[in-house]
Amino acid sequence: MKTRTLGNGLRVPAIGYGAMVLSPGTYGEVDDARGEAAIRAALDAGGTHVDTSDAYGPDGHNERLVGRAIKGRRDEVTVATKFGLAVPEGEPSRAQPVGYAFGELRVNAEPRLVRGYAEHSLRNLGIDVIDLYYAHYPDPGVPIEETVGAMAELVRDGLVRHIGLSNLTAAQLRAAHAVHPVAAVQTEWSMWRPIDAELLATARELGVGIVAWSPLGNGFLTGTVTALGEDDFRRNAPRFSAENLAGNNNRYAPVRDLAVSLGITPAQLALAWLLHQDEHVVPIPGSRTPAHIEENLAAADLVLHEDTLARIDDALSRFKVTGATLL
Ligand SMILES: NC(=O)c1ccc[n+]([C@@H]2O[C@H](COP(=O)([O-])OP(=O)(O)OC[C@H]3O[C@@H](n4cnc5c(N)ncnc54)[C@H](OP(=O)(O)O)[C@@H]3O)[C@@H](O)[C@H]2O)c1
């Protein structure tokens, strides 16, 4: 697997693995045995940068699953997790408006809680240091410099190797980076969800890597999502509603056709396209299915020529999406 450098010298595989889909209530059925097998399939195929959060699944479910799957293979893995949304009972929290499906999330990233969050995640994961630790969302009631100040103490004390920040603005990144070097910002970025141009420019200027979440558009960009099960969380997103999904799939056909003409899958085209947008971007696709995981990770080796990229961008400029995203 090719590697890429995020910020602060952190080297990771060009494509990582997002474990969120392995917790109940996300995108379709899953059980823990299948989940652990999926994570091990990712490691076997070189997807050794594994992304989780203390807020995925009930009571640290996703972190505990990752911990079991990497047992005995710790040294191969870059473990990335996040804090701030699993607010301890009795603690206050602030509303972070995030969009359609969630309406709002509740955040507490006060410095006094940061060490406790990290210790809890370390226990869930069964490890003694977190390789990349993110604030999941900025806390609207706490200057980001204060949250990052507490994260810097975790680095100093050996609980964390690198600091990341997720879902933040360019100005917040700049303020945070002045307190402690930030290795990565995690933000949604895919063929149907452009990155904020100012955030991208600031990350480039500061030498901060970009970890792209939902790089397959929650599965849409693979061309395989035509109907959703009862407990599928994507039902909450207007882009996936019964009335919009079929039309979106039809209008996306020219991009899928491009993949076919290149002899690759739409999922691989979506990931390769992303890798060609910036040399410090690292997508973290999620999947429960070993065959999909291998297919996705193989996209790290694809080289798209300039004229192909121009054809993709032309097709994307004609692709009009109907409906809002999940966040
Ligand atoms: N920082 C944040 O706030 C934030 C928010 C959301 C997500 N994330 C991170 O980003 C990661 C990925 O995001 P995501 O899971 O929302 O979306 P995604 O990677 O865009 O899409 C996942 C979906 O795509 C399907 N899929 C994957 N590969 C496929 C293939 N080759 N062919 C057909 N279908 C395929 C999966 O189904 P199968 O299981 O059937 O393969 C799954 O339903 C998460 O795990 C999480 O770590 C972070």
Reading phi first (left if > 0) and then psi (alpha if -120 to 50, else beta), residue 81 is in beta
- CATH for 160: 3.20.20.100
Strand partners, 209: 184
Q: Which atom of ligand 1 approaches the CA of 186 most closely?
A: 1
Does residue 215 form part of some domain?
yes
Give the pLDDT confidence score for residue 140 in this predicted structure.
96
Q: What residue numbers bound the domain in which 16 lies?
A: 3-219+267-302
The pLDDT profile of the chain, 327 residues, written as one tens digit per residue, is: 999 999 999 999 999 999 999 999 888 889 999 999 999 999 999 999 999 999 999 999 999 999 999 999 999 999 999 999 999 999 999 999 888 888 889 999 999 999 999 999 999 999 999 999 999 999 999 999 999 999 999 999 999 999 999 999 999 999 999 999 999 999 999 999 999 999 999 999 999 999 999 999 999 999 999 999 888 899 989 999 988 999 999 999 999 999 999 999 999 999 999 999 999 999 999 999 999 999 999 999 999 999 999 999 999 999 999 998 887
Tell me the CA–centroid distance for residue 220 and ligand 1, in Å.
10
Q: What are phi and psi of 38, to 5 degrees?
A: -65, -45
Number of domains the chain is built from: 1
Give the pLDDT confidence score for residue 17 in this predicted structure.
98
| 137: nearest Cα among 171, 90, 160, 105 | 105
Tell me the CA–centroid distance for residue 323 and ligand 1, in Å.
19
Does residue 82 form part of some domain?
yes
Does residue 230 form part of some domain?
no
Q: What are phi and psi of 210, to 5 degrees?
A: -120, 125
| Pocket flag, ligand 1, residue 234 (CB < 6 Å) | no
Catalytic residue among 17, 56, 134, 252: 56
Residue nearest to atom 14 of ligand 1 (CA): 214
Residue nearest to atom 8 of ligand 1 (CA): 213
Strand-by-strand arrangement of the 209-213 sheet: 17-18, 49-51, 78-83, 130-135, 160-166, 184-188, 209-213, 281-283
Does residue 193 form part of some domain?
yes
Tell me the CA–centroid distance for residue 240 and ligand 1, in Å.
15
Does residue 141 form part of some domain?
yes
Judge whether 56 counts as a catalytic residue: yes
Sequence-separated (6 or more) residues with CB below 8 Å from residue 188: 195, 212, 213, 214, 325, 327
Q: Which atom of ligand 1 approaches the CA of 28 most closely?
A: 43
| Pocket flag, ligand 1, residue 26 (CB < 6 Å) | no
Question: 0.85 cut: is pTM over it?
Answer: yes
Q: Which atom of ligand 1 approaches the CA of 285 most closely?
A: 19
| Pocket flag, ligand 1, residue 147 (CB < 6 Å) | no
For ligand 1, mutation pick of 21, 191, 195, 289 (most atoms within 8 Å of CB): 21
Does residue 247 form part of some domain?
no
Tell me the CA–centroid distance for residue 17 and ligand 1, in Å.
9
Quick check: helix, strand or coil at residue 177?
helix
Give the pLDDT confidence score for residue 170 in this predicted structure.
98
Neighbour-count burial of 310, counting CB atoms closer than 10 A to its CB (0-12 exposed, 13-18 middle, 19+ buried): exposed
Does residue 48 form part of some domain?
yes
| Pocket flag, ligand 1, residue 81 (CB < 6 Å) | no
Residue nearest to atom 41 of ligand 1 (CA): 287
Does residue 67 form part of some domain?
yes
| Pocket flag, ligand 1, residue 167 (CB < 6 Å) | yes
Tell me the CA–centroid distance for residue 218 and ligand 1, in Å.
5
Give the pLDDT confidence score for residue 326 in this predicted structure.
81
